[in-house]
């Protein structure tokens, strides 16, 4: 009985010896024949009884916040107004007005009554700035006009205090874009990127979209330049980390997540930037890749694997070596993040053969020797990831044993099966 197996190709000569990798075409072909799977956070299923060992469960049932930590706050809650951090000063950029000036200006120019059309327009803008999807917008649109107006007035009041409705009280996206285009010096770039990270985190979605249209490309240009840099100075690594933190903040919105996944070079640059010698940077990187694998579209797994493969070939190592090496580091946060990515890569494919292939490739890269040591570490986050790894490994072995049992029955009783099929065909006719 033939069964579908992903086509494999070997890494080019000169790269480190390792397991062959499935081709992009084979992965794509195996996916086209299957029904789409639901992406995103999935809840843990109820405990299985003894009568149903082969019962199928969601491939990845961890809460998305557990997987991506603070990087995907958008899945948990809307940011609390007034909680943004102080922005580092940027020279040659506009500074905020003093609070006393703003209060006096508000007294001199009291707000005018809003028409019904203006209230509804601001209501839509409010929901957009809150980063709500259409499912969450629908029940809000059904509310009475009086409730909508009250919500809009609260939104205006909060926005006026935080400055999100006053262009002259904050650094605009265009100013950041201009600063990045100027190619600031190393120290100045650190300040610019830190201020940008705070702005991307604290400003509404409309601000993020305004910056992302051109700013994402500039951030990727800077990251690529830093990766290619031959110098190992601390300032270079610091700037590289700041860029990655800006990309994390950008991914907190649906717009930013889609923009980053639509950029062909983004995943490649993230994979090339993985460095176990920089644990804090690598922790953020593997969290980003984990989130992309889980909340992205079906084809995104193929793109992530291709990015890891290219990065491994460039360094002449196995494509998963850097991830496994991160598990050897003393940083528990890095160990948890690496196990998150391993689980995301292994559990995402629908095809059993491909899941077994990815898991075995990690095992050959050294994961088999590291797992006993990881289980001795007392950490809740790491325990969860190790439990997920073991549970899905057991499920795949059960599924494989059922498949082998079916093949065995077919070989032992071929005539019985053939007669049964003939009887069914005769009965239908």
List alpha helices for 263-351, DSSP H: 264-272, 279-295, 300-315, 321-327, 332-347
User: Which of the following CATH numbers is that of domain 287-429: 1.10.3720.10, 1.25.10.10, 2.30.38.10, 3.40.50.2300?
Assistant: 1.25.10.10
Mean pLDDT of 185-205: 89
What does the pLDDT look like over 115-152, one tens digit per residue?
A: 877 778 777 877 777 667 777 778 888 888 778 777 87
297: left (phi over 0), alpha (psi -120 to 50) or beta: beta
DSSP 70: G
Q: Are 309 and 298 in contact (CB under 8 A)?
A: no
* Contact criterion met (CB below 8 Å) for 286 and 245: no
Whole-angstrom distance, CA of residue 24 vs CA of residue 194:
37
Task: Indicate the range of 181-195, 290-304, 404-418 predicted with least confidence.
Answer: 404-418
Tokens at residue 195, please?
A: 């201020």
Helix segments in 48-98, DSSP class H: 64-68
For 273-304, how does the pLDDT look when each residue is reduced to its tens digit (9 = 90+)? 999 999 999 999 999 999 999 887 768 899 99
Identify the bridge partners of residue 22 per DSSP, sorted by sequence position: 8
pLDDT of residue 386: 96
CB atoms within 10 A of CB 371: 16
Does the pTM surpass 0.85? The reply is no
Length of the chain: 429
Task: Tell me the domain boundaries of the chain.
Answer: 287-429
**Number of helices and strands (H, E) in the chain?**
20, 2
């Amino acid at each position: 009985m033939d069964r579908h197996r992903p086509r494999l190709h070997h890494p080019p000569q000169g790269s480190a010896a390792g397991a062959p990798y499935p081709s992009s075409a084979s992965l794509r072909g195996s996916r086209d024949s299957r029904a789409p799977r639901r992406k995103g956070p999935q809840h843990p299923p109820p405990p299985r009884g003894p009568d149903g060992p082969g019962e199928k469960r969601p491939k990845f049932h961890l809460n998305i916040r557990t997987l991506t930590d603070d990087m995907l706050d958008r899945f948990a809650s809307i940011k609390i107004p007034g909680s943004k951090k102080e922005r580092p000063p940027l020279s040659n950029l506009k500074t905020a007005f003093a609070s006393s000036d703003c209060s006096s200006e508000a007294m001199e120019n009291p707000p005018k009554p809003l028409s019904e059309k203006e209230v509804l327009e601001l209501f839509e803008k409010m929901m957009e700035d809150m980063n709500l999807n259409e499912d969450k917008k629908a029940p809000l649109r059904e509310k009475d006009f009086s409730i909508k107006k009250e919500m809009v007035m609260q939104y205006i009041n909060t926005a006026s205090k935080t400055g999100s409705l006053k262009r002259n009280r904050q650094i605009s996206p265009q100013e950041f874009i201009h600063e990045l285009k100027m190619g600031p010096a190393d120290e100045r770039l650190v300040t610019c990127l830190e201020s940008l990270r705070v702005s991307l985190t604290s400003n509404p979605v409309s601000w993020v979209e305004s910056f992302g249209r051109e700013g994402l490309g500039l951030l990727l240009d800077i990251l690529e330049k830093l990766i290619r840099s031959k110098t190992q100075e601390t300032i270079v690594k610091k700037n590289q980390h700041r860029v990655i933190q800006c990309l994390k903040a950008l991914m907190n919105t649906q717009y930013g997540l889609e923009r980053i996944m639509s950029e062909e070079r983004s995943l490649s640059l993230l994979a090339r930037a993985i460095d176990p010698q920089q644990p804090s940077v690598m922790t953020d990187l593997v969290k980003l890749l984990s989130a992309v694998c889980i909340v992205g579209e079906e084809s995104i797994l193929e793109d992530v694997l291709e990015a890891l493969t290219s990065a491994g070939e460039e360094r002449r190592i196995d494509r998963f070596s850097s991830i496994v090496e991160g598990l050897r580091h003393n940083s528990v946060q890095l160990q948890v993040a690496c196990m998150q990515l391993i689980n995301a890569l292994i559990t995402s494919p629908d095809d059993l053969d491909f899941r077994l292939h990815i898991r075995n490739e990690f095992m050959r890269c050294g994961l088999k020797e590291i797992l006993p040591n990881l289980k001795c570490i007392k950490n809740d986050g790491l325990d969860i990831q190790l439990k997920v790894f073991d549970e899905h490994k057991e499920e795949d072995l059960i599924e494989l044993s059922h498949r082998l049992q079916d093949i065995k029955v077919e070989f032992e009783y071929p005539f019985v099966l053939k007669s049964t099929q003939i009887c069914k065909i005769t009965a239908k006719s």
